[in-house]
Structure 1
C-alpha cells in the first residue's frame, strides 16, 4: 500500500471538498419504480448551469407514454403524408358526420378527402377563411378528441347543398359561347378540384347511367326527384351503379380528368326534360 508524500498531502488538502466525493451510480431498478407526477415530467426552466441527468434516468423518462390526445403537429397532416394520426382524424370526422366524404373509411394517408371532411367540420364551427382550410390545428383536434363543438350537418337538397364538390365553387359557368363546342356554348358548369375530391348528388334520385361517356369520360346520370336528369362527367371513379337510389349529399364518385379535358374537374349538366340529350340542357341550378 502506497502512502502520500508530504507534497501530495498538501495538494489534496487544497482541492475543493466536492472533489473528495464520488456521485454513486443509481440502480436502474430503483429508477423505474419511481412514480412521476405532472410536476416531475414538466420541462425545467432554463438554467445557466443545468445539472446533467444520468442516462438511466433519461431512459426512465422516455418510458413514460406520450399523451395520445395531444395534437400531433401540423406536419402530420400534409397532403400525401402517411401518419397514424391521419387514421384517427378520419375516424373522428366520420363519427362527427363526415361519412359521406369517405368511400372506404379512414386511412393513414392524408388526402383531399380528409381535407374536405375536415373543412366541413371547421365550417360547422362557424369558421371561415384560413380557419376552415381543411388542415387541422390544435383547436380542431381538441374539439374532435373531446367530442365538443358542432357536428357536420347532413347534406340536403335545395339550397342546403352549396356544391356538388364540397368545398369548391364553380370555375367555368354554364352558357358561355365557344365555337369549339358542337353545341356552340358550354353545356354545363365546371368545378375545378384536385383529383380524388368527393362528388355528391345535388338532388335525390335514381342512377340511370354509370359508364363511359366518350368525351365526357367516366360519367353518372341520375334521374332526380325534381324531374330532371343530372349528369356528372370526367370522374376518376364512380361509386354508384345503375338502379341505385341516392340521396342529395351522398357521394357518387370522385373528381378526375377522364375524357376530353385540360385538367381535373367535375362537369355538371341538368337536362331540360326528363331525359338527358346533348345540348338539350338548362343551367344546372338546384
Structure 2
C-alpha cells in the first residue's frame, strides 16, 4: 500500500524505549488459545461472534495497548492500533506477513521495508531485521518515522483530529490502504481487548465514533443483556457518572413497548422522595435530554413529566395534561422512583458534538418497498437498508454532506456509490443506472450523485439506501427520522 510522506524542517527523534507488555494480558508463557468476543453491540453482519487468539496474538495486542498509552494515544488509540494490526497481519499470525509483499510491506503493521521508508538501514535486508521487531512497528504506527532524508511518515498521533474519526477512518489515515473499509470489521474485537487490558467488566463492545465523555466501560450488570447499543451507552455512562446508582433496569420480556425490545433504561433513584434523590433524578433526566442526539434518546419521563425529541420545543410536559403518561399515587407508574429513558436503539452518534449541515431525502418521488431487517430468499441474512422504488433515471441526491469514497460495480449492490461523512458514517447508494460523482469528490446535501437503476441483485428499479456506523448497518428510516425527515 502507498504511504504518504510529509517533509519537515528538522529531524524528529522518536525514543524507542523498551515497552513492557501489559501485565494483565497474559501472565507468563502461554500455549493455549483464548476466545475473545469480536462483536459490536447491535447488528454484527458477517463478523464472527468470537475469535480464538493464541498467546502470541494476545501479547502483540497487549504490546499495542501499552504503546498507545506510552505515546499518548490512550485507549482510543489502542483500539485503532489493534484493529489495524488485526487487518494487516492477523495480529502477526498470518504467515505471509513475515515476508515482504510486492511493495516491500512486512510485519505486524505491514510497514515498508524498502530503503528510505520505515527503517534507516542501508539495505532492505537490514530493514527487514529492524521491522521484525513488533515493538518498533507498534511505536512507529503511533509516532510515525522520520527518514534520514528528513521526510516524516505520519503516525496516528500526527493525524489531526483522529480522535473524532471512526476506527476505520483513523486507521486508513495512517495506513493509506487500498481497502479503507476493511478495518471496521475488527473494531469489536479491538474494543473487547482494550477493555480486557484495562481491567473493565466484560460486556459487548459499543462501536463507532465516541467522544471521551460517552466512551463508557461496561457496568458488569446482568441488566445489560439484550440491550441495544444506544441503551447500553445510556446504562454505562450513568453507571460511570453516578456511582451511587446501584440499579439500572433494561429488558423486560413481554413488554410491548421499548423495554421489550432493549430500547429503554430505568434508572432507579435511591431515596427518591428526599430532596437529594429528587435533585439526583433531575440531574440524570437533564443529562439525557441535553445529550439526546449523542445517546439516541427518543423521550425521557421523570416525576410525572415527559420530554420527547419529537416535541422538544415544548419542553417538559405534564403527564395527564400535555403528555400521555401516568399521573397518580403509584410511585413507579408515575416515575417518581426512577428516570425512564427510551432510545432509538442504534441511532446515537456517540459524541456530544452535533454535526452541522442539512439532511435531505435521496429521491423526490418514490415508493418504499423493502425495509431494514426484512428477511427472505433475496438476502443472505436480512435486508441491510431501505429501498426507494422509482423509475430508472430518477435523480439520486446525497442525503448529507461528505466525501465520495467509492464508485463503480459492487456485486449484488450493482453500480454503487459510497459517501463518508465527517463522523465516519458511510452511506451506500446502490443499483444505480448512472453515477455522476468521482472518488474524493466533496458533496453537499442535495447534490445529484447518480440515477436510479436496476443493476445488481434487484427485481425492479430502485435505490437501496444503506447507512453504516462503524461498519455496522443501521436502520436508514430511523437515521433520517432523528434528523427531522420521514421517508
- TM-score, structure 2 as length reference: 0.24
Pick the structure with greater CA Rg: 1
Which protein has greater RCO, CA pairs closer than 8 Å, 6+ apart? 1
